[in-house]
Structures are given as structure tokens and as C-alpha cells.
A = this chain, B = another copy of it.
Amino acid sequence: MSDNMKYDVIIVGAGVFGMATAFYLKQTDRALNVMVIDREGGAGEGNTCKSAAGIRNTFSSPENVILTNTSINKFEDIEKKGFGLNIKMCGYLWLMTDDKFKKSQDAIYAMKENGVDFSVLFAEELRAIPGLNIDNYSSDECQMMGLSRIKSGLLGKKCGSIDPGAIVSYYENEFKKLGGITKFNTKVESLILEPEEKLDIPGEPLVWQEPKIAGVRTTNGEFYAKTTIIAAGVWAKELLDPIGLDAHIKPKKRQLFQVKGSSLEPLIKNCPGFNDLNMLPFTIIQKAGIYIKAEPREECIYVGCADNIGRAFNFDCEPERDYYENSILPVLVEVFPQFKNARLESMIAGSYAYNTIDKNPYIFKPMRDLVIVSGDSGSGIMKCDAVGRIATALYWGEEYAILYPNVPFKVSKLGVETRDVTFERFVI
């Protein structure tokens, strides 16, 4: 089943990082022979499509701010030019207790320094949100759950959501227009690690041989390339551990619960004052990392939770109804009582590829013929345009990538040995 030709580049993973990289590679040199391989039946069908797909530039790391700002600008330009991405600039709203606000001070100052457009709202200004419980937290249940009154809100302006499938499709279409090749339903099982000159000694490459990555072994045979790019998200680990390279990510389950009911309608389409869409911003409640995202098109609200300690690092992708009912719902109904009468319609689970080190992406070239694009940390979609450009610049050996529309970014900042990023404190 193998084809014997040698591609210039094989990209493993047709998610949002892989497809953006594929497009920018072809755009810089149309003659480049690029193939994207994915085990799913189409682009973005892995974890990309399981994302809450929020977009925001509210980060404390200046690097994350540049990556998201430029990507969001590009998304808006794509839509302006007629390719629908279902962008909803509804804002991001953090509901804050006194304690949470104090703990976030440093991160908030950092955002201010980074030029992020946000405002701090008083509790009074939050009363416009239908049903929101601002200060009635004296019940035994609330005490037990450590819930307390909302004292302020932090509203990020250049924030909202996007259709993750649409943005992947955009890059895929553009890539294909330029002659790019995709190969789906093809699982990459391992990288082909070989010596530059084979001698047929067992155990090659031996330590004195120059190692190279010749391509990939897949469920549909072997494919050869001059350069292999790993953009496989959480699965990068499975490909890289066997050759002793670190993708610098941990896989972590994240779930999305789709909730419907007439009691939720005001949040979805009658919540004035925060954006032009009359909808609730993407809202992070004051406890336990629980967030809600209104989706007018589907007339529902998606509920998620950025849990931390206690959530194992593994590849488990089973959504758990118990988790919604025991962990999320008891808190949620205290803050938004209208969820009491809403029904859980469906649920999905995917995996974050978590960079636990500094929560910025890793884009590096550990071998002459291998590029690794990794570490999305749950904010990959909103950075994908910048990431695709940086991976492309790295491929070409450029010192700087030019992010949209014309923002230089030093490629080595996201490398390993040369790493120069700030720890991100504003992770959801």
C-alpha cells in the first residue's frame, strides 16, 4: 500500500495546528510537496471539534497575547472576506469573589501591561445578567461548597467564540487550492527512525550513526518525507516517547455538556449590555473552573469545567454524566438558578494537550528533519493562525515569523533550549 515517492513534508495531524501549518507551508512555496495524514475521516475531527472553541486575548503571558491577538485578527479578516467562521465576539467574563480578584491581581496587571482590552465591572453592573445570583450565598450548601458572593467581573473585549470545524475547513480548502494533499483514515503508528547510511546491523541507528526521520509508518503503509512535522496534539507523545523525544504535553480529559431549556433562553438571547449580540459572554463562574458558553445557533448552553488536581493525565475520552450532576451542577445552580430546570441534552469529551511547564505552545526542531508543534494547553484554536506561521518559519529556518497582519515574532522563543516565554497564569 506504500507509495514510494518522497514528500517534501509530511504533517501528522489534520487538527487546527496541522492544517494551519500545512497551508502556510504551501503558501510560502507552492512547489513544496506537502501531505497531511490523519487517522480520522476528515480534518479537525479529533480533539479540534470537541473544543469549547472560545477565543480570547486575555492572557498574562505576552507571548500568548501576541499569538491570540494576531490569530483573532486573521479570523475576523477571513470572515470579512466571505468565509463564515461563526465568530461571536460576545466577550469573556470572569465572575470574581473578593479572594479570587486579589489572587488574580498580578495576572490582571500583566494583561494591562500586555495591552489587553478589558474592563473591571462592579457587582452592580452584573445585575443585568438574567438570573445571576450576586450575593445570596448564605445557605448551608453554599458554605459547604465554599461559594461566596460575587464582588466584581472581569470582561475581556476581544473575546468570544468561533466554529472550530469552520476554521479548520478554511485552512484545508486553501491548502488544497494550492495543491496540498490530505490522507485521512490513516493512523500514523510510528516514526521511521533510521541512520543516514544504513548498514543492516541490528539496533540501528547505533549511537555513532547520524539518526534521521525518514517518514512515518501508518495503517496504510509507509510514507517517506524529507521533513516530518508532528502536530498530533495529545497523540504526539505516543509517537515521540519511543524515540526519546518529549512533546512537553500531558493528555487531560475535558468534557462539554450541552444543556437546553426555556429557562436558559434569556441568557442566550436577552442579556443586554455586554456585547452587540445581546447574549451572555463566555462566562467563567467564581468557583471550581466552571464555565458556560451560550450558543444561539443551537439554542443551548455548553457547560465545561477546567478541573485541576484530581483529573488524571490519561487518554480517557468517556464523558461522565455523574461528573456533570455531582461536580458541576450543584455549583452552577447556586450561581445561575435557571439551570435547575434545564436538561442535559448531550455530552462529549476530548483531550487537552496540556503544557504543564509554562502553558505556552512548544514549536521546535529537535532534529534536522523533524518539527514538533505542540502544547496548545486548551487554547490551540485561538492561536492556530500564529502557530501555523511560526512552524512554517521554523521549517524555513527563519529567525522571525510574520504574524497577521505584520507582526514579527521570534521563532526561538517557543523552542526548548532557547525558550523565552512567561508562565501563563490565566488558564481556564
List, in ascending order, chain B residues with CB within 8 A of A307's CB: 207, 244
Interface assignment of A136: CB less than 8 Å from any CB of chain B: no
Please, which residue of chain B has its CB at the minimum distance from the CB of A241?
B313
Is A357 in contact with B248, judged by CB distance below 8 angstroms? Answer: yes
Counted per complex, copies of this chain come to: 2
Highest count of chain B CB atoms <10 Å: which of A207, A250, A328, A425: A207
List, in ascending order, chain B residues with CB within 8 A of A199's CB: 144
Interface assignment of A140: CB less than 8 Å from any CB of chain B: no
Is B207 in contact with A244, judged by CB distance below 8 angstroms? Answer: no
Please, which residue of chain B has its CB at the minimum distance from the CB of A195?
B310
Please, which residue of chain B has its CB at the minimum distance from the CB of A213?
B309
Is A244 in contact with B326, judged by CB distance below 8 angstroms? Answer: no
Interface assignment of A402: CB less than 8 Å from any CB of chain B: no
Count of A residues near B, CB < 8 Å?
A: 57
Q: When the two chains form the complex, which single residue of B202, B211, B243 contacts A312, counting CB atoms closer than 8 Å?
A: B243
- Alpha-carbon separation in the docked complex, A244 to B310 (Å): 6
- Alpha-carbon separation in the docked complex, A191 to B211 (Å): 40
Is A246 in contact with B366, judged by CB distance below 8 angstroms? Answer: no
8 Å CB contacts to B: which residues of A195-235?
A: 197, 199, 201-203, 205-211
Of the listed stretches A15-23, A108-116, A390-398, A415-423, name the one at the interface; the rest are far from the partner chain. Answer: A415-423
Interface assignment of A271: CB less than 8 Å from any CB of chain B: no
Is B366 in contact with A309, judged by CB distance below 8 angstroms? Answer: yes
Is B312 in contact with A248, judged by CB distance below 8 angstroms? Answer: no
Of the listed stretches A44-52, A89-97, A287-295, name the one at the interface; the rest are far from the partner chain. Answer: A287-295
Interface assignment of A367: CB less than 8 Å from any CB of chain B: yes
Interface assignment of A3: CB less than 8 Å from any CB of chain B: no
Is B241 in contact with A202, judged by CB distance below 8 angstroms? Answer: no
The SS class assigned to the A binding surface is loop
Interface bits A405-428 vs B (CB < 8 Å: 1, else 0): 000000000001111000101000
Is B322 in contact with A244, judged by CB distance below 8 angstroms? Answer: no
List, in ascending order, chain B residues with CB within 8 A of A244's CB: 250, 252, 307-313
Interface assignment of A346: CB less than 8 Å from any CB of chain B: no
- Alpha-carbon separation in the docked complex, A313 to B244 (Å): 5
Instruction: For residue A325, give the distance in angstroms from its CB to the closest CB of chain B.
Output: 10
Interface bits A242-272 vs B (CB < 8 Å: 1, else 0): 1111101010100000000000000000000
Interface assignment of A348: CB less than 8 Å from any CB of chain B: no
Is A326 in contact with B356, judged by CB distance below 8 angstroms? Answer: no
- Alpha-carbon separation in the docked complex, A211 to B288 (Å): 11
Is A309 in contact with B193, judged by CB distance below 8 angstroms? Answer: yes
Is B243 in contact with A310, judged by CB distance below 8 angstroms? Answer: yes
Is B246 in contact with A313, judged by CB distance below 8 angstroms? Answer: yes
CB-defined A-B contacts under 8 Å, sample of 30:
A146-B208, A146-B210, A193-B310, A202-B322, A203-B327, A205-B310, A206-B330, A207-B288, A207-B290, A207-B328, A208-B288, A208-B330, A208-B331, A211-B309, A211-B310, A241-B250, A241-B312, A241-B313, A241-B314, A243-B309, A244-B307, A244-B308, A246-B250, A246-B313, A246-B356, A248-B357, A356-B416, A357-B416, A418-B423, A419-B423
In the A-B complex, the 9 residue pairs with the smallest Cβ-Cβ separation, listed nearest first, are A246-B356, A207-B288, A145-B208, A206-B327, A207-B327, A244-B311, A241-B313, A208-B288, A242-B312
**What 16 additional pairs, Cβ within 8 angstroms, besides A244-B252, A246-B250?**
A145-B209, A203-B323, A206-B327, A207-B288, A208-B288, A241-B314, A244-B250, A244-B311, A244-B313, A245-B309, A246-B356, A246-B357, A357-B416, A358-B419, A418-B423, A419-B423
